[in-house]
Structure 1
Amino acid sequence: MGVEGKDKQKALEAGAIALSGQLGRTVQRLRKSYNLSLSELSEQSGVAKSIISQIERNDTNPTLATIWRLAQALDVPIERVLQDRDDSPFIEKVSRGDTPILVSDDGKCKLAVTGWIKTVEWLQCYDFFAESGGALESEAHQRGAVESLSVIQGELQVEVGGAKEIVRAGETLRYRADRRHVIRNCTKMPARAEMICILKAAAME
Protein backbone atom coordinates (compact mmCIF):
# COMPACT_ATOMS: atom_id res chain seq x y z
CA MET A 1 0.00 0.00 0.00
CA GLY A 2 1.39 3.42 -1.04
CA VAL A 3 1.70 6.50 1.13
CA GLU A 4 -1.58 7.90 -0.27
CA GLY A 5 -3.36 4.61 0.41
CA LYS A 6 -2.05 4.50 3.99
CA ASP A 7 -3.17 8.09 4.62
CA LYS A 8 -6.63 7.27 3.29
CA GLN A 9 -6.83 4.19 5.50
CA LYS A 10 -5.81 6.24 8.57
CA ALA A 11 -8.46 8.82 7.75
CA LEU A 12 -11.13 6.12 7.46
CA GLU A 13 -10.05 4.57 10.74
CA ALA A 14 -10.12 7.97 12.46
CA GLY A 15 -13.61 8.61 11.06
CA ALA A 16 -14.82 5.23 12.25
CA ILE A 17 -13.47 5.88 15.76
CA ALA A 18 -15.15 9.30 15.85
CA LEU A 19 -18.47 7.83 14.70
CA SER A 20 -18.21 5.05 17.24
CA GLY A 21 -17.58 7.51 20.06
CA GLN A 22 -20.47 9.67 18.96
CA LEU A 23 -22.73 6.64 18.60
CA GLY A 24 -22.04 5.42 22.13
CA ARG A 25 -22.86 8.81 23.64
CA THR A 26 -26.00 9.13 21.54
CA VAL A 27 -27.35 5.69 22.45
CA GLN A 28 -26.70 6.28 26.13
CA ARG A 29 -28.33 9.73 26.07
CA LEU A 30 -31.43 8.47 24.26
CA ARG A 31 -31.73 5.47 26.58
CA LYS A 32 -31.54 7.67 29.67
CA SER A 33 -34.00 10.19 28.23
CA TYR A 34 -36.56 7.36 28.10
CA ASN A 35 -35.55 6.22 31.61
CA LEU A 36 -34.62 2.79 30.24
CA SER A 37 -32.15 0.47 31.93
CA LEU A 38 -29.70 -1.56 29.86
CA SER A 39 -31.84 -4.64 30.50
CA GLU A 40 -35.04 -2.89 29.37
CA LEU A 41 -33.45 -1.60 26.17
CA SER A 42 -32.02 -5.07 25.54
CA GLU A 43 -35.46 -6.64 25.92
CA GLN A 44 -37.10 -4.09 23.62
CA SER A 45 -34.43 -4.16 20.93
CA GLY A 46 -33.35 -7.81 20.97
CA VAL A 47 -29.74 -6.67 21.30
CA ALA A 48 -27.78 -8.31 24.10
CA LYS A 49 -27.29 -6.19 27.22
CA SER A 50 -23.53 -6.76 27.04
CA ILE A 51 -23.43 -5.48 23.45
CA ILE A 52 -25.37 -2.32 24.35
CA SER A 53 -23.00 -1.72 27.25
CA GLN A 54 -20.00 -2.13 24.93
CA ILE A 55 -21.55 0.29 22.41
CA GLU A 56 -22.10 2.93 25.09
CA ARG A 57 -18.49 2.49 26.27
CA ASN A 58 -17.28 2.63 22.65
CA ASP A 59 -15.70 -0.82 23.04
CA THR A 60 -17.23 -2.24 19.87
CA ASN A 61 -18.21 -1.26 16.34
CA PRO A 62 -21.84 -2.45 15.95
CA THR A 63 -23.32 -3.63 12.69
CA LEU A 64 -25.91 -1.55 10.89
CA ALA A 65 -28.53 -4.16 11.80
CA THR A 66 -27.75 -3.68 15.50
CA ILE A 67 -27.98 0.09 15.21
CA TRP A 68 -31.30 -0.27 13.38
CA ARG A 69 -32.71 -2.46 16.19
CA LEU A 70 -31.66 0.08 18.81
CA ALA A 71 -33.17 2.93 16.79
CA GLN A 72 -36.46 1.03 16.53
CA ALA A 73 -36.51 0.37 20.29
CA LEU A 74 -35.73 4.02 21.04
CA ASP A 75 -38.39 5.14 18.53
CA VAL A 76 -36.05 7.44 16.61
CA PRO A 77 -34.86 7.45 12.97
CA ILE A 78 -31.61 5.56 12.45
CA GLU A 79 -30.14 8.77 11.02
CA ARG A 80 -30.55 10.41 14.42
CA VAL A 81 -28.67 7.63 16.14
CA LEU A 82 -25.85 7.88 13.62
CA GLN A 83 -25.63 11.65 13.33
CA ASP A 84 -26.82 13.09 16.65
CA ARG A 85 -24.24 15.00 18.68
CA ASP A 86 -24.06 16.13 22.29
CA ASP A 87 -24.43 19.77 21.25
CA SER A 88 -27.44 19.20 19.01
CA PRO A 89 -30.69 20.96 20.07
CA PHE A 90 -33.12 18.99 22.22
CA ILE A 91 -36.63 19.11 20.77
CA GLU A 92 -39.53 17.00 22.03
CA LYS A 93 -43.14 17.52 20.97
CA VAL A 94 -46.12 15.89 22.72
CA SER A 95 -49.53 15.83 21.05
CA ARG A 96 -52.72 16.75 22.91
CA GLY A 97 -53.85 13.13 22.74
CA ASP A 98 -50.67 11.98 24.51
CA THR A 99 -50.91 14.58 27.32
CA PRO A 100 -52.07 12.98 30.60
CA ILE A 101 -55.19 14.56 32.14
CA LEU A 102 -56.00 14.54 35.86
CA VAL A 103 -59.56 15.24 37.04
CA SER A 104 -60.67 16.64 40.42
CA ASP A 105 -63.01 14.69 42.70
CA ASP A 106 -65.99 16.82 41.66
CA GLY A 107 -65.20 16.29 37.97
CA LYS A 108 -65.19 20.02 37.29
CA CYS A 109 -61.45 20.67 37.27
CA LYS A 110 -58.88 19.23 34.89
CA LEU A 111 -55.10 19.27 35.02
CA ALA A 112 -53.23 18.62 31.78
CA VAL A 113 -49.74 17.43 32.70
CA THR A 114 -47.46 19.61 30.57
CA GLY A 115 -44.32 19.11 32.64
CA TRP A 116 -41.46 16.74 31.82
CA ILE A 117 -41.72 13.30 33.41
CA LYS A 118 -38.02 13.44 34.34
CA THR A 119 -38.64 16.42 36.66
CA VAL A 120 -41.87 15.21 38.26
CA GLU A 121 -40.24 14.54 41.64
CA TRP A 122 -39.24 18.19 42.10
CA LEU A 123 -40.99 20.27 39.42
CA GLN A 124 -44.49 19.75 38.04
CA CYS A 125 -46.26 21.87 35.40
CA TYR A 126 -49.95 21.80 34.55
CA ASP A 127 -52.52 23.49 32.34
CA PHE A 128 -55.39 23.98 34.83
CA PHE A 129 -59.05 24.34 33.80
CA ALA A 130 -61.99 24.83 36.17
CA GLU A 131 -65.67 24.92 35.30
CA SER A 132 -68.01 27.19 37.25
CA GLY A 133 -68.21 25.92 40.83
CA GLY A 134 -65.27 23.56 40.40
CA ALA A 135 -62.81 22.97 43.23
CA LEU A 136 -59.44 21.25 43.30
CA GLU A 137 -58.63 20.13 46.85
CA SER A 138 -55.04 19.05 47.52
CA GLU A 139 -53.44 17.61 50.62
CA ALA A 140 -50.16 19.04 51.88
CA HIS A 141 -47.12 18.35 49.70
CA GLN A 142 -43.66 17.88 51.16
CA ARG A 143 -42.10 20.54 53.39
CA GLY A 144 -41.03 23.67 51.53
CA ALA A 145 -43.25 23.01 48.47
CA VAL A 146 -44.54 26.10 46.67
CA GLU A 147 -47.16 26.45 43.93
CA SER A 148 -47.36 29.26 41.38
CA LEU A 149 -50.74 29.89 39.73
CA SER A 150 -50.89 32.23 36.71
CA VAL A 151 -54.48 32.85 35.62
CA ILE A 152 -55.01 33.15 31.88
CA GLN A 153 -58.79 33.32 31.79
CA GLY A 154 -61.43 34.07 34.41
CA GLU A 155 -60.92 34.25 38.16
CA LEU A 156 -59.89 31.75 40.83
CA GLN A 157 -59.88 31.69 44.60
CA VAL A 158 -57.02 30.02 46.45
CA GLU A 159 -57.39 28.93 50.07
CA VAL A 160 -54.31 27.94 52.08
CA GLY A 161 -54.48 27.24 55.78
CA GLY A 162 -57.63 29.31 56.25
CA ALA A 163 -56.36 32.31 54.26
CA LYS A 164 -58.11 33.13 50.98
CA GLU A 165 -56.92 35.15 47.99
CA ILE A 166 -58.52 35.98 44.63
CA VAL A 167 -56.35 35.83 41.51
CA ARG A 168 -57.62 37.18 38.19
CA ALA A 169 -56.55 36.92 34.55
CA GLY A 170 -53.08 38.41 34.11
CA GLU A 171 -52.16 37.85 37.76
CA THR A 172 -49.91 35.26 39.41
CA LEU A 173 -50.28 33.93 42.94
CA ARG A 174 -47.59 31.98 44.77
CA TYR A 175 -48.40 30.14 47.95
CA ARG A 176 -47.27 27.41 50.31
CA ALA A 177 -48.28 23.97 49.15
CA ASP A 178 -46.90 22.07 52.16
CA ARG A 179 -50.31 22.36 53.82
CA ARG A 180 -53.80 21.61 52.60
CA HIS A 181 -54.83 23.99 49.79
CA VAL A 182 -57.90 24.47 47.59
CA ILE A 183 -58.36 26.20 44.24
CA ARG A 184 -61.97 27.20 43.50
CA ASN A 185 -63.82 28.80 40.65
CA CYS A 186 -66.52 30.77 42.47
CA THR A 187 -67.71 32.57 39.32
CA LYS A 188 -70.23 31.61 36.68
CA MET A 189 -67.57 31.57 33.95
CA PRO A 190 -64.85 28.95 33.26
CA ALA A 191 -61.31 29.70 34.35
CA ARG A 192 -57.92 28.60 33.06
CA ALA A 193 -54.45 28.93 34.54
CA GLU A 194 -50.90 27.67 34.32
CA MET A 195 -49.80 25.91 37.49
CA ILE A 196 -46.22 25.18 38.54
CA CYS A 197 -45.53 23.12 41.66
CA ILE A 198 -41.99 23.27 43.02
CA LEU A 199 -41.61 20.35 45.40
CA LYS A 200 -37.97 20.47 46.43
CA ALA A 201 -37.22 24.17 46.51
CA ALA A 202 -37.56 24.32 50.32
CA ALA A 203 -38.38 27.97 49.61
CA MET A 204 -40.15 28.49 52.91
CA GLU A 205 -37.43 27.11 55.17
Structure 2
Amino acid sequence: MERTLSQSASPLPTIAAALRRERERAGLSLTELARRAGIAKSTLSQLESGAGNPSVETLWSLGVALGVPFSRLVEPVTPTVQVIRAGEGPRVQAERAEFAATLLSAGSPHARRDIYLLTIEPSAGREADAHLPGSIEHLIVAAGRLRTGPVSEPVELGPGDYATFGGDAPHRYEALEPGTVAVLVMEHP
Protein backbone atom coordinates (compact mmCIF):
# COMPACT_ATOMS: atom_id res chain seq x y z
CA MET A 1 0.00 0.00 0.00
CA GLU A 2 1.41 3.41 -0.99
CA ARG A 3 1.60 5.99 1.84
CA THR A 4 0.37 9.50 1.09
CA LEU A 5 0.68 12.88 2.75
CA SER A 6 -1.78 13.60 5.54
CA GLN A 7 -4.67 15.89 4.68
CA SER A 8 -4.81 17.28 8.27
CA ALA A 9 -1.98 19.77 7.80
CA SER A 10 -2.52 20.13 4.09
CA PRO A 11 0.69 20.93 2.26
CA LEU A 12 -1.15 20.77 -1.07
CA PRO A 13 -1.11 24.53 -1.82
CA THR A 14 2.64 24.63 -1.10
CA ILE A 15 3.27 21.55 -3.26
CA ALA A 16 1.13 22.92 -6.11
CA ALA A 17 2.97 26.24 -6.13
CA ALA A 18 6.38 24.55 -5.86
CA LEU A 19 5.69 22.18 -8.73
CA ARG A 20 4.57 25.02 -11.02
CA ARG A 21 7.51 27.21 -9.99
CA GLU A 22 10.14 24.49 -10.43
CA ARG A 23 8.64 23.16 -13.69
CA GLU A 24 8.64 26.67 -15.17
CA ARG A 25 12.17 27.31 -13.87
CA ALA A 26 13.30 24.12 -15.61
CA GLY A 27 11.45 25.11 -18.81
CA LEU A 28 9.48 21.86 -18.94
CA SER A 29 5.95 21.25 -20.18
CA LEU A 30 3.49 19.24 -18.10
CA THR A 31 3.87 16.39 -20.58
CA GLU A 32 7.68 16.35 -20.42
CA LEU A 33 7.85 16.53 -16.62
CA ALA A 34 5.27 13.77 -16.26
CA ARG A 35 7.25 11.60 -18.70
CA ARG A 36 10.55 12.21 -16.84
CA ALA A 37 8.94 11.48 -13.46
CA GLY A 38 7.12 8.40 -14.73
CA ILE A 39 3.66 9.63 -13.73
CA ALA A 40 0.49 10.39 -15.67
CA LYS A 41 0.13 13.90 -17.07
CA SER A 42 -3.36 14.08 -15.50
CA THR A 43 -1.83 13.32 -12.07
CA LEU A 44 0.71 16.11 -12.48
CA SER A 45 -2.00 18.49 -13.67
CA GLN A 46 -4.09 17.69 -10.58
CA LEU A 47 -1.08 18.21 -8.28
CA GLU A 48 -0.29 21.59 -9.84
CA SER A 49 -3.90 22.66 -9.35
CA GLY A 50 -3.76 21.70 -5.65
CA ALA A 51 -5.91 18.60 -5.99
CA GLY A 52 -4.97 14.99 -5.36
CA ASN A 53 -2.88 13.52 -2.60
CA PRO A 54 0.67 12.86 -3.78
CA SER A 55 2.66 10.03 -2.27
CA VAL A 56 6.17 10.54 -0.99
CA GLU A 57 7.35 8.39 -3.88
CA THR A 58 5.58 10.61 -6.43
CA LEU A 59 7.14 13.74 -4.93
CA TRP A 60 10.59 12.11 -4.89
CA SER A 61 10.19 11.21 -8.57
CA LEU A 62 9.14 14.75 -9.41
CA GLY A 63 12.06 16.19 -7.40
CA VAL A 64 14.53 13.97 -9.25
CA ALA A 65 12.98 14.87 -12.62
CA LEU A 66 13.19 18.57 -11.73
CA GLY A 67 16.69 18.33 -10.25
CA VAL A 68 15.59 19.74 -6.88
CA PRO A 69 15.62 18.31 -3.36
CA PHE A 70 12.38 16.86 -1.96
CA SER A 71 12.26 19.67 0.62
CA ARG A 72 11.91 22.32 -2.09
CA LEU A 73 8.59 20.75 -3.08
CA VAL A 74 7.06 20.60 0.41
CA GLU A 75 8.47 23.57 2.35
CA PRO A 76 6.79 26.96 2.02
CA VAL A 77 8.91 29.52 0.20
CA THR A 78 10.31 32.27 2.37
CA PRO A 79 9.60 35.80 1.19
CA THR A 80 12.03 37.02 -1.46
CA VAL A 81 12.26 40.43 0.18
CA GLN A 82 12.85 40.84 3.89
CA VAL A 83 12.89 44.31 5.43
CA ILE A 84 14.22 45.30 8.84
CA ARG A 85 13.39 48.94 9.46
CA ALA A 86 15.90 51.27 11.09
CA GLY A 87 15.76 50.84 14.84
CA GLU A 88 14.24 47.35 14.60
CA GLY A 89 15.87 43.93 14.91
CA PRO A 90 17.69 42.20 17.77
CA ARG A 91 20.12 44.78 19.18
CA VAL A 92 22.91 43.98 21.65
CA GLN A 93 24.81 46.69 23.53
CA ALA A 94 28.46 46.34 24.59
CA GLU A 95 29.19 46.54 28.31
CA ARG A 96 32.25 48.82 28.27
CA ALA A 97 31.90 50.84 25.07
CA GLU A 98 29.36 52.94 23.19
CA PHE A 99 28.90 50.07 20.73
CA ALA A 100 25.73 48.28 19.63
CA ALA A 101 25.24 45.52 17.07
CA THR A 102 21.91 44.75 15.41
CA LEU A 103 21.69 41.35 13.73
CA LEU A 104 20.22 41.85 10.26
CA SER A 105 20.68 38.35 8.87
CA ALA A 106 22.00 35.13 10.32
CA GLY A 107 23.69 32.75 7.95
CA SER A 108 22.11 29.47 6.95
CA PRO A 109 23.96 26.19 7.46
CA HIS A 110 25.28 26.55 3.88
CA ALA A 111 26.11 30.27 4.04
CA ARG A 112 28.00 30.67 7.25
CA ARG A 113 27.83 34.41 7.61
CA ASP A 114 25.97 36.94 9.72
CA ILE A 115 25.21 40.57 8.85
CA TYR A 116 25.14 43.29 11.52
CA LEU A 117 24.47 47.01 11.62
CA LEU A 118 26.92 48.64 14.04
CA THR A 119 26.29 51.97 15.76
CA ILE A 120 29.33 53.28 17.59
CA GLU A 121 29.95 56.46 19.53
CA PRO A 122 33.35 57.88 20.50
CA SER A 123 34.61 56.23 23.69
CA ALA A 124 37.53 54.11 24.74
CA GLY A 125 36.63 51.73 21.92
CA ARG A 126 35.61 48.11 21.99
CA GLU A 127 38.16 45.34 22.20
CA ALA A 128 36.85 42.11 20.69
CA ASP A 129 38.25 38.71 21.56
CA ALA A 130 39.26 36.34 18.79
CA HIS A 131 36.39 34.45 17.17
CA LEU A 132 36.54 30.91 15.77
CA PRO A 133 39.68 30.09 13.78
CA GLY A 134 39.17 31.08 10.14
CA SER A 135 36.58 33.79 10.91
CA ILE A 136 36.75 36.81 8.60
CA GLU A 137 35.18 40.23 9.14
CA HIS A 138 34.09 42.53 6.30
CA LEU A 139 33.28 46.09 7.35
CA ILE A 140 31.80 48.98 5.36
CA VAL A 141 31.44 52.38 7.01
CA ALA A 142 28.14 54.12 6.23
CA ALA A 143 28.60 57.27 8.34
CA GLY A 144 31.26 58.79 10.58
CA ARG A 145 34.82 57.58 10.99
CA LEU A 146 36.07 54.36 12.51
CA ARG A 147 39.36 52.84 13.61
CA THR A 148 39.16 49.06 13.31
CA GLY A 149 41.05 45.91 12.56
CA PRO A 150 43.47 43.67 14.38
CA VAL A 151 44.78 45.25 17.58
CA SER A 152 48.28 45.05 16.09
CA GLU A 153 47.43 46.98 12.90
CA PRO A 154 44.19 49.02 13.03
CA VAL A 155 43.11 51.15 10.07
CA GLU A 156 40.99 54.31 9.85
CA LEU A 157 37.89 54.21 7.66
CA GLY A 158 35.44 56.87 6.49
CA PRO A 159 32.06 56.74 4.74
CA GLY A 160 32.07 54.19 1.91
CA ASP A 161 35.41 52.67 2.96
CA TYR A 162 35.69 48.88 3.19
CA ALA A 163 38.11 46.74 5.19
CA THR A 164 38.44 43.04 5.78
CA PHE A 165 40.51 41.25 8.38
CA GLY A 166 40.75 38.00 10.28
CA GLY A 167 38.29 37.90 13.13
CA ASP A 168 40.25 35.05 14.68
CA ALA A 169 42.69 37.44 16.37
CA PRO A 170 41.93 40.15 18.94
CA HIS A 171 40.54 43.22 17.16
CA ARG A 172 38.90 46.54 17.97
CA TYR A 173 36.28 49.06 16.94
CA GLU A 174 36.68 52.72 17.87
CA ALA A 175 34.44 55.52 16.63
CA LEU A 176 36.36 58.68 15.77
CA GLU A 177 33.20 60.76 15.18
CA PRO A 178 29.74 60.81 16.77
CA GLY A 179 27.09 58.90 14.85
CA THR A 180 29.41 56.32 13.33
CA VAL A 181 27.51 53.56 11.56
CA ALA A 182 28.93 50.52 9.78
CA VAL A 183 27.77 47.26 8.23
CA LEU A 184 29.65 44.17 9.40
CA VAL A 185 29.56 40.85 7.56
CA MET A 186 31.02 38.01 9.64
CA GLU A 187 32.10 34.89 7.77
CA HIS A 188 32.34 31.78 9.91
CA PRO A 189 34.35 28.66 9.05
TM-score category (smaller protein):
0.5 to 0.7
- Distance in 1 (alpha carbons) for counterparts of 2:110 and 2:183: 16
In the alignment, what sits opposite 1:59? 3
**Compared CA separation, residues 95 and 146, structure 1 to 2 (3 A):** closer
Q: Determine if contact 2:97/2:126 at 8 Å carries over to the other structure.
A: no
Instruction: Spell out the pairing of 1:156-175 with structure 2 (5 A cutoff).
Output: 156-175=146-165
Decide which structure has greater helix share. Answer: 1
Question: Aligned-pair RMSD on alpha carbons?
Answer: 3.0
Q: Give the 3 Å change call, closer, same or farther, for CA 118–159 of structure 1 in structure 2.
A: closer
Normalised TM-score (structure 1): 0.54
- Give the gaps of 5 or more residues in structure 1: 1-57, 72-77, 201-205
What's the CA shift for 1:59?
A: 3.0
Match of 2:179 in 1: 190
Relative to structure 1, the CA distance from residue 120 to residue 149 in structure 2 (aligned partners, 3 Å threshold; closer, same or farther) is farther
| Cα distance in 2 between the residues matched to 1:165 and 1:184 | 10
Cα separation, partners in 2 of 1:98 and 1:178, compared to 1, 3 Å: same
Is contact 1:136-1:184 (8 Å) kept? yes
- Indicate which of 125, 130, 136 corresponds to 2:120: 130
Moved over 3 A (4+): 78-82, 84-90, 94-98
Q: How does 1:42-191 map to 2 (within 5 A)?
A: 59-63=3-7, 65-67=8-10, 79-80=13-14, 82-85=16-19, 87=22, 90=78, 91=80, 93=82, 95-96=84-85, 99-106=89-96, 108-119=98-109, 122-133=112-123, 135-187=125-177, 189-191=178-180
Superposition pairs of residues 29-40 of structure 1, within 5 angstroms: none
Change (3 A) 1:79 1:98: farther
Output the CA distance in 2 between the equivalents of 1:120 and 1:184: 32
Question: Unpaired segments of 5 or more residues in structure 2?
Answer: 26-76
Number of residue equivalences: 132
- Deviations 1:116-161, CA, capped at 9 Å, x for gaps: 3525983121111112326332111122221111001010001413
Q: Is the 8 A contact 1:134 1:186 kept in 2?
A: no
Contact 2:144 2:176 (C-alpha < 8 Å) held by counterparts? no
